[in-house]
């Protein structure tokens, strides 16, 4: 009997600790990560406008405030306070549906979003190599510039969507220079922020990881994002490794709420165990 009570208490303590450590309610910043936005069927990387409406309405109703990259930077660097219940919306790659399907909803619900662009994929009169692109249809530079006037800030997401896990340090440096130069050429205002392609930087060698952080810093990057389905406490512990949570179009609505609360990793683990 005593054994059972002690075990129960330990389990409770562990659960309480995990909830505290991971939850956005305890001083964490949920950074949500999207990719494509469609008007019809959702899939793993695609959220439908129908789902987004529900999600945005939920965030507004519950008093969450969406923030820009520049606001997180000002908080990290100058300790400028963030609004109550902050949440960050990030969208990777720069698909054209972000302009056609997401942008009108951002205005309607007064939501701020941050789009990480693959610089070499952005369409412009001088860029013919991008169509057709097997990854999908990408936005035009002028569409990005239009969005930057109100609801959207932009960041870097490499030049050709290559993985920094497989590139050498000199190749990473060349990619950073190309990305920066191209975005400047296109006249798209960007924040000094980068999102790693393929979500994470899975580098076994700690030294190479630190050298990569140094390169990012040398080339002007002040925040870099991965995908770990985790919520970081703010101010962030490592500004070159900020956690984001993947919001899948295959999630039922309750799972979106779990993402915002910061507990999706625990839920995914439980789900796997039960299967």
CB of 26 to Zn ion, least distance (A): 30
**Integer Cα distance of 111 and 63 in angstroms:** 12
- Residue 95 or 263: the one with the smaller Cβ distance to Zn ion is 95
71 binds Zn ion (CB under 5 A): no
Which alpha helices (DSSP H) does the chain contain, by range?
A: 2-22, 49-61, 69-78, 96-97, 103-109, 141-147, 169-186, 206-218, 253-261, 264-274
CB of 38 to Zn ion, least distance (A): 17
2-10, 25-33, 87-95, 236-244 -> range binding Zn ion (CB under 5 A): 87-95
93 binds Zn ion (CB under 5 A): yes
**DSSP secondary structure letters along 75-121:** HHHH-PPPPSSEEEEEEEE-BHHIIIIIHHHHHHHT--EEEEE-GGG
CB of 93 to Zn ion, least distance (A): 5
70-78, 93-101, 145-153, 179-187 -> range binding Zn ion (CB under 5 A): 93-101
For residue 248, the 8-state DSSP code is -
6-14, 89-97, 220-228, 252-260 -> range binding Zn ion (CB under 5 A): 89-97
Q: What region does 232 belong to: left with phi over 0, alpha with psi -120 to 50, or beta?
A: beta
**What residue is closest to Zn ion based on CB?**
92
**Integer Cα distance of 8 and 130 in angstroms:** 58
Residue ranges in 196-215 that form contacts with Zn ion under rule CB under 5 A: 197
257-274 burial: b if 16+ Cβ within 10 Å, else e:
ebbbbbbbbbeeeeeeee
**Integer Cα distance of 268 and 188 in angstroms:** 37
21-29, 54-62, 84-92, 253-261 -> range binding Zn ion (CB under 5 A): 84-92
68, 86, 88, 92: residue in contact with Zn ion (rule CB under 5 A): 92
CB of 196 to Zn ion, least distance (A): 9
Are 142 and 134 in contact, with CB atoms under 8 Å apart? no
- Residue 66 or 197: the one with the smaller Cβ distance to Zn ion is 197
CB of 157 to Zn ion, least distance (A): 6
Are 222 and 192 in contact, with CB atoms under 8 Å apart? yes
175 binds Zn ion (CB under 5 A): no
CB of 220 to Zn ion, least distance (A): 20
Chain positions contacting Zn ion, by CB under 5 A: 92-93, 197
């Amino acid at each position: 009997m005593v054994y059972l009570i002690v075990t129960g208490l330990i389990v409770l303590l562990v659960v309480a600790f995990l909830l505290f450590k991971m939850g956005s309610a305890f001083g964490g910043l949920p950074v949500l990560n999207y990719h494509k936005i469609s008007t019809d069927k959702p899939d793993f990387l695609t959220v439908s406008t129908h789902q987004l409406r529900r999600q945005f309405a939920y965030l507004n109703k519950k008093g969450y405030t969406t923030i820009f990259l520049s606001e997180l930077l000002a908080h990290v660097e100058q300790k400028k306070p963030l609004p109550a219940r902050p949440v960050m919306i990030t969208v990777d790659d720069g698909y054209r549906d972000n302009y056609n399907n997401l942008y009108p909803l951002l205005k309607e619900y007064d939501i701020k979003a941050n789009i990480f662009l693959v610089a070499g994929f952005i369409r412009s009169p001088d860029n013919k190599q991008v169509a057709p692109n097997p990854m999908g249809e990408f936005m035009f530079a002028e569409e990005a510039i239009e969005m930057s006037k109100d609801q959207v800030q932009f960041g870097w997401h490499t030049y050709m969507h290559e993985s920094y896990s497989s590139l050498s340090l000199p190749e990473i440096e060349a990619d950073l220079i190309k990305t920066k130069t191209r975005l400047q050429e296109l006249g798209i205002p960007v924040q000094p922020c980068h999102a790693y392609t393929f979500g994470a930087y899975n580098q076994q060698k700690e030294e190479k990881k630190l050298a990569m952080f140094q390169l990012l810093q040398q080339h002007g990057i002040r925040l870099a994002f991965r995908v770990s389905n985790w919520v970081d406490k703010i101010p962030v512990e490592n500004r070159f490794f900020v956690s984001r949570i993947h919001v899948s179009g295959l999630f039922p609505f309750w799972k979106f709420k779990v993402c915002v609360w910061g507990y999706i990793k625990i839920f995914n683990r439980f789900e796997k165990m039960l299967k």
